[in-house]
Structures are given as structure tokens and as C-alpha cells.
Chains A and B, each alone.
Chain A
Amino acid sequence: MVSLWDDYSTTNAYDEMRHSANQARPSSQRLSGYLDNLGRTALEVRKTAAEHAIMEMGITFTVYNEEGNIDRAWPFDIIPRIIDNKEWVGVEIGLKQRLKALNCFIDDMYNEQLFIKENLIPAYIIKSSKNFLQECIGMRPRFGAWANICGSDLIRDKDGTFYVLEDNLRVPSGVSYMIENRVITKKVFPELLQDLDVLPVDDYPAHLFEMLLSVAPAHRETPRLVVLTPGIYNSAYFEHAFLAQQIGAELVEGDDLIVLNDDCVYMRTIDGMERVDVIYRRIDDQFLDPEVFRKDSVLGVKGLIRAWKAGNVSLVNAPGAGVADDKVVYAYVPEMIRYYLNEEPILPNVPTYLCSEPEQLNYVLKHMEELVVKPANESGGYGMLIGPHATQEQIAEFRQIVKAHPRNYIAQPTLALSTCPTLCDDHLEPRHIDLRPFILQGESSYVTAGGLTRVAMKKGSLVVNSSQGGGSKDTWVINTGK
């Protein structure tokens, strides 16, 4: 009999499901066999069912292009990605450890700056960081947690080790898709989820809610939570509405809020002004408060920073947390873990060359063809160079840019991201993936079971961002028994 796996050829990269073309990893044996039994035709039927569900549920994201904003259906591949819980337990501890250290670092940067005084990081890196906000100096958010919500991107290299590629500490997105992907999978493969011990992911909103309550200003008895969105044209609007709904918070825009003379934040309701205690803001620092940051911001709320500094409202994530969301600062995270927590890092960083250091810059300029060069402060995969896939002209151009602004760039070896079987037309092919788990830190810490797996749908591509043609997969952390 012809097997679905007959023409599945693993590449040099680590494949999440198959040791080799004809052998499944232990945690994936059931799934492999199941898919094989199902066969190609049935798989296509399930795929169509998933597409319908996505349309009907209205799971979309917004992309910008020349024609304006377009609401696109969420790109989803029905073949799940499996992680053995035995392995995941370690990753989870590693992620909590990492966020704890990052929060210690942020708190330190806005207060004593011991990490600089001990010569563990050059002072100029912080001074020149555009995410370091003077206004935040001296602030101490509750539990020392500045970044309450973090989305760290993990990748697996050839040998199967998980590496942290970056930590998104500003307004990380994607968690709603993680939850919706599972809802869709339940519709598409109900029989399979019943038979396997897959950890649930839909408890995230409950943990988010708890965390938000835990950081409310201390004296408020039943704190009022809101989600602050830039509005319907934001690419993650769907997620903002989804999360507000899930945690029972009001979804507000800048105009809905006002800071009065008592330095408290209120929202405009049909009953008049109502006090707001915790703002889960999905607006970047620069747009939060035209009184302090960008004067032209129409998304923010005048006086918000004043209210925050007076301790009358909690902002999540705290303004200024982005100082640690900088690819140069990233390189120092292992040292932060050692310094603040007195522990050894559990999850390794990807080796990183800092263009701000002359010797490392020289290396980068010489080896650009093999490296990935990234701007220190952008997100969404914009403005980067993937050496092995770039033309000579692009490389030459990047050399000039990097030389002109070394502080703004870092470089990393091109890692062979792991692959996962992905449905391409009517058969399975390996496609590169990464993983974004979400970590919460308030009074206590929490990590999602798995996270959002993003997949580069184009053959050989390493770009997984949904804004650039990436898709996603449901992620199953499963208990395999012993």
C-alpha cells in the first residue's frame, strides 16, 4: 500500500515528527499513523473544513499594502506540531527563569543600574537604546514585573536543541491564534484529540486575567480592567477584541479614556466617568501619551503616564519595558540570569554578534553571506538580511548600512530551523517552523502549554511572520506516559 510518508523527504534540519523518512519520533507515532490511515483525499477534505471554520469564526489579521488594509483569513496548516511534555517541562522552567531575569534587569536599569556598575553591560548600550525611557526612571511596578506578558521566539537547531531567538516584551501578539488554532483542530480532528493526552491551551485567558488583577493598584477592591487598542486598522485588532472578550474587560480606544485632574484614568460610559485600574495596552510606548511621548499621537491618552507615575493605574506591559526588547541587550540575557538569579541559564541564546563591538563587527562584515543580520529594534521580520538567500547587491548595501549604524544591528548564524510536515496541495512536505510561547509574570508566573507555531509556507523559506506569508499550526504538548 502507498503510504502518505513514502515521498516525505526530511532535509538536513531537525524534523519535529520524523527521525527519517520512514520512522516517526515516539511522541508522533500515533499522529503519523493516523494521518497515513486517513489518506490524501480525506486530508484535503479536513483542510477545506478548517478553512470554512476560519472564515465563519472570522479569524483574521490585517495586512497593509498599496491597496490599504485588507482583512485576511488566518493562514493555518492542519497538521499539528507535537512536543513531548517531558521536554516541555524543562523549556517552561527555562522561560520563567528568563522572564524573571529580564524583569530584574529592567527594574535595575530604571533604578540602581547595578548591572552597568558591575561592568556587565556597557552604559552606552542602554543610553542609546530608543526603548529606554527617561520618564520611567525611579518607577517600581508591583512585584518588580515590568514585562508582565512576554512572547519569546524559540527555534530548534539541527541537533534538536531549543534556542531562544528573541524576547518580545513590548506588545507581543499571537496568543489568540494559539487558542483559536486549537478550536479549529478540535473541529477538524476530534477523534484524535480524544485519544491523545494533549495539554489544553484555552486556560491562558484565565491566567491573564489573574495576572492583570494581581498587578492592580493595591488599594482598589474590584479593579476595573480594560484592553487599550489602537483600533480596527491595527493588524492585531482581532486579538485585542478576542482577549477583551475572554477576560471580560472593556475594549477601549484612546478617545474612550480620559485622565482628570486627580491624575486618575476614567472611561466615558453611558453613566458618565468610570475609574479604570488596569490597562492592558496594545499600543506602543511612543503612542501612549501625547503629553510625554509623540505629540502627534491620536491613539493614546493625554496624561496616562502622569496617572501611572502617581500609582493610580497599572499599565501592562509597563512603559519602558522595551529596553530589554532590543537584540543587542538580548545578547546579555545569559549574564543577567547568572547575575540576578544566581542560576545557570536553562535555555541557550543563539550566538549573537554585536556590530557595536569593533571585533565582532569585522567578523560580521567578512561573513555576511552566512549570517542573518537584523536591526536591533524592529519586529515583524522587517529590515533584515538573510545572507545565504541574499544577492551580492543586497549584501553590499547592508554592509554600508551596518557600518553607518553599528549599534542598530546584530548578526546571528543562519540556523537550520526545524521542519514539520505541512500539507502542500495533497501531500506532506517539510516546512520550517518556530515557536512562540507566551509567559506571564505578575504575582506568579505562567507559561502557555506550547505556544503559537509559525510555519514558513514557502519551500526552503525561513520567514515565518504572518505579515510576510507565514502560516501557523496547532501545537500539541502531549503526555506520552513514561
Chain B
Amino acid sequence: MLSRSAERLYWLGRYLERTENTARLLSVHMNLMFDLPMSVEISWRNLLTIFGAGERFFQLYETPDEHNTMRFLLADTNYRGSLFSSLNFARENIRTSRDLMPDEAWQQVNEMYLLIREKSDSTANRRGRVILLNDIMRGCQRFTGFLSGAMSQDDAYRFIQLGRNIERADMTTRILDIGSTLLAEDRSDKMREYENTLWMNVLKSLSALLMYRKHRRLRINSGDVLDYLMKDANFPRSVGHCIDEVETCIRYFPQSEELFENISTVKKLLKTTDFYKITPKNLHELLDNIQVKLDEMHQQIAATWFLAVN
């Protein structure tokens, strides 16, 4: 397939994954905020931290309250990482790749785009937001469904998968990074009291609660949650699984030796880390390290298969 197409499909995969993750994260966070007493030091600001968007936010807004944070992360086109921006980029990429995939896939993305464009005002109230976020999550899943039901699992499909899994692994590490706050020695008593709820929300943010319960059969605790979300070989959003998927995809492509090196480094890191004993500081460093590796993989993917700009 064309290098240009490979690039567009990879980004399509990334942006749609980002869209879906953002929708889920916002939705879970809203629910969490309804559950927690005002005094717990989890705030709307945590969302900004997960997205690494604090700086950009304060360029555009003053107070990180519910209204502003939601508007910024959901519908603000001045922020390139907002849900609407991601969807917009996804749409541009699929619009230029329509020759490579089933029509329904394009229409699905286009419909979501039209939906937000039309409804972006309704994000000011909670009810409108809940409905919109649900529609987006469903739309993304429908898109995935169209692909798995009607697209050959060829190179085009694999580039979408590749983008999706790199993005997914990145998001999982970001969400787990809140874990390092939860584990901190100096955390307040209030925080300890609600620890369970908070870890549960980490699982929910990654659609992992049910599968965790089914496979770990344990009361929710930090060590198990971390171990599950980092290492589990079968859960689609665990970092380990995403890395395996990346590896599977690139086996089909020519010339990818360098990438394999990075992949085995990450795998080794995961394998040798004991998540039941990890300190908050080490966790933070490890997650950081994995994010750097993911970025390197991205650069290698681009250099190997995308159209070089001359």
C-alpha cells in the first residue's frame, strides 16, 4: 500500500482511539465527581494532568472548574487534544482514505463529527454532556465493528491497529499515573478512605472493571490493579497487550528490525517490574519511561513506512 495511505490510516487509528478514550475518561470522571465528597483532593484538574494539558488550559481559561475543563477537553478547537479536535483530525484522515475502507466506516466518523458540531453548545449542561459522550463512545465502537466485520485484515487494517494500540498504551500509562498520587505516602486520610472507589474508577476509565473482577477475583487493591493493567496478556487495554498487538502488526511489514528492539525493551521492563511492591516514585518513572519508548516507536514507524517529506 501507499506510504501516504499507511500514514493516514495510522493517524486515523490514533485519533479515533484518542476520541474514544477521551469520551470514556470524561464520562467516568464526571461520575466519580458525583460520588466523592467535596473534601477529597481529586478535582477537575486531575483530568488536565492526565492529558498533560494544564499549560494550554491556563492560556485559555482561568479557573479549572467543571464547566471550563469540560468545555476545554470536549469541544474546544483551540486545544489540539480536545475530543472534537481529535475527531476532526480523524475525519480528515479518513476523508482522504475512503478508497481503503468500507463506506460505513467513513459515514460513522462523519456522523460523529456532525453530531458534535451541532451539539457542542449542549455540553454546558451535564445531561447534554452525558448523552453526547455516550453517543461518541458508541459511535467509536460501531466504527470498530464495521472494520472488524467488513474490512480485510490487510496492511491497511494493520496500520489502523498499529496507531490504535500505540495510542491505547499511551493512554493507559497516563491514567495509571494518577495511581502514583493515590499511592503517595503523604496522602490524606480522606484519600485513604476513598481509595477503593478511586482504583475502581481507574479500572472503569479503561473499561476494565468487569474483566478485572472476572480474572483476578480479588477485592480491588492497588497492586492487582496495576499488575492487571500493565501486564495482563489478554485484556485489550493493558500495556502488555497493546505492545503485543504492535508487535503482531509490524511482523507483516517489511524492514522493521529497529522497532523490535524497542518492543523487547518495553516487554522486559514490564516483565521485571513487581507492581505489588513498586513505590510511587518508581511507578511514575517507569510510566514516564514507557511513554518515551512509545514515542520512539512512533518515530521509527514514521521513518520506516511513511512518505518522507522532501
Which single residue of chain B is at the shortest CB-CB distance from A71?
B95
Among B107-115, B175-183, B268-276, the stretch that binds chain A is B107-115
In the complex the two chains form, is A245's CB within 8 Å of B99's CB? yes
Shortest CB-to-CB span from B115 to chain A, Å, is: 10
Question: Chain B contacts of A272 at CB under 8 A?
Answer: 254
In the complex the two chains form, is A268's CB within 8 Å of B99's CB? no
Question: Chain B contacts of A232 at CB under 8 A?
Answer: 95-96
Which single residue of chain B is at the shortest CB-CB distance from A243?
B99
Question: Chain A contacts of B2 at CB under 8 A?
Answer: 250, 252, 256, 267-270
Give residues 1-56 of A contacting B (CB, 8 Å): 55-56
Q: How far is the CA of A37 from the CA of B6 in the complex (A)?
A: 52
Question: Chain B contacts of A252 at CB under 8 A?
Answer: 2, 4
Q: How far is the CA of A55 from the CA of B114 in the complex (A)?
A: 8
Give residues 287-310 of B contacting A (CB, 8 Å): 305, 307, 310
Which single residue of chain A is at the shortest CB-CB distance from B110?
A58
Check if B106 is an interface residue, CB within 8 A of chain A.
yes
Q: Which of A58, A249, A255 contacts B4 (CB 8 A)?
A: A255
Q: How far is the CA of A269 from the CA of B254 in the complex (A)?
A: 11
Q: Which of B3, B99, B110 contacts A270 (CB 8 A)?
A: B3
Give residues 193-208 of B contacting A (CB, 8 Å): none
Total A-B pairs, Cβ < 8 A: 62
Residues 215-258 of chain A, each 1 if its beta carbon lies under 8 Å from chain B, else 0: 00000000000010000100000000110110011111101100
Question: Chain A contacts of B4 at CB under 8 A?
Answer: 252-253, 255-256, 268
Check if A271 is an interface residue, CB within 8 A of chain B.
yes
In the complex the two chains form, is B107's CB within 8 Å of A56's CB? yes
User: Given A232-B96, A242-B98, A271–B254 Cβ distance below 8 Å?
Assistant: yes
Q: How far is the CA of A267 from the CA of B5 in the complex (A)?
A: 12
Check if B1 is an interface residue, CB within 8 A of chain A.
yes
A56, A57, A270: most-surrounded residue (chain B CB, <10 A): A270
Shortest CB-to-CB span from B108 to chain A, Å, is: 9
Grouping DSSP codes into helix (H, G, I), strand (E, B) and loop, the B interface class, with mixed when no group exceeds half, is: helix
Q: How far is the CA of A249 from the CA of B99 in the complex (A)?
A: 7
Check if B155 is an interface residue, CB within 8 A of chain A.
yes
Q: How far is the CA of A256 from the CA of B3 in the complex (A)?
A: 8
In the complex the two chains form, is A270's CB within 8 Å of B6's CB? yes
Shortest CB-to-CB span from B101 to chain A, Å, is: 9
Question: Chain A contacts of B6 at CB under 8 A?
Answer: 270
Shortest CB-to-CB span from A19 to chain B, Å, is: 41
A58, A252, A256: most-surrounded residue (chain B CB, <10 A): A58
Check if B253 is an interface residue, CB within 8 A of chain A.
yes
Residues 64-99 of chain B, each 1 if its beta carbon lies under 8 Å from chain A, else 0: 000000000000000000000000000000011011
Q: How far is the CA of A251 from the CA of B94 in the complex (A)?
A: 13
A-side interface residues, number (CB < 8 Å): 24
Q: How far is the CA of A106 from the CA of B4 in the complex (A)?
A: 36
Shortest CB-to-CB span from B160 to chain A, Å, is: 14
Which single residue of chain B is at the shortest CB-CB distance from A252?
B2
In the complex the two chains form, is A245's CB within 8 Å of B1's CB? no
Q: How far is the CA of A253 from the CA of B111 in the complex (A)?
A: 27
Which single residue of chain B is at the shortest CB-CB distance from A242?
B98
Shortest CB-to-CB span from B256 to chain A, Å, is: 10
In the complex the two chains form, is A269's CB within 8 Å of B1's CB? yes
Which single residue of chain A is at the shortest CB-CB distance from B158?
A270
Which single residue of chain A is at the shortest CB-CB distance from B114?
A55
Question: Chain A contacts of B111 at CB under 8 A?
Answer: 56
Question: Chain A contacts of B310 at CB under 8 A?
Answer: 255
Question: Chain A contacts of B107 at CB under 8 A?
Answer: 56-58
Q: How far is the CA of A232 from the CA of B6 in the complex (A)?
A: 17
Shortest CB-to-CB span from A228 to chain B, Å, is: 12
Which single residue of chain A is at the shortest CB-CB distance from B101?
A245
Q: Which of A56, A251, A255 contacts B307 (CB 8 A)?
A: A255
Shortest CB-to-CB span from A297 to chain B, Å, is: 15
Question: Chain B contacts of A242 at CB under 8 A?
Answer: 98
Question: Chain B contacts of A227 at CB under 8 A?
Answer: 99
Q: How far is the CA of A245 from the CA of B1 in the complex (A)?
A: 14
Shortest CB-to-CB span from A366 to chain B, Å, is: 52
Q: How far is the CA of A249 from the CA of B2 in the complex (A)?
A: 11
Which single residue of chain B is at the shortest CB-CB distance from A245?
B99
Which single residue of chain B is at the shortest CB-CB distance from A57?
B107
* Given A56-B111, A248-B99, A270-B254, 11 new contacts (CB under 8 A): A241-B99, A245-B100, A249-B99, A250-B1, A251-B96, A267-B2, A268-B3, A269-B1, A269-B2, A270-B305, A271-B254
A residues lining the B interface (CB < 8 Å) = 55-58, 227, 232, 241-242, 244-245, 248-253, 255-256, 267-272
- A to B CB contacts below 8 Å, 16 in the list: A56-B107, A56-B110, A57-B110, A227-B99, A232-B95, A241-B96, A242-B98, A245-B98, A245-B99, A250-B1, A251-B96, A253-B4, A256-B3, A268-B3, A269-B1, A269-B2
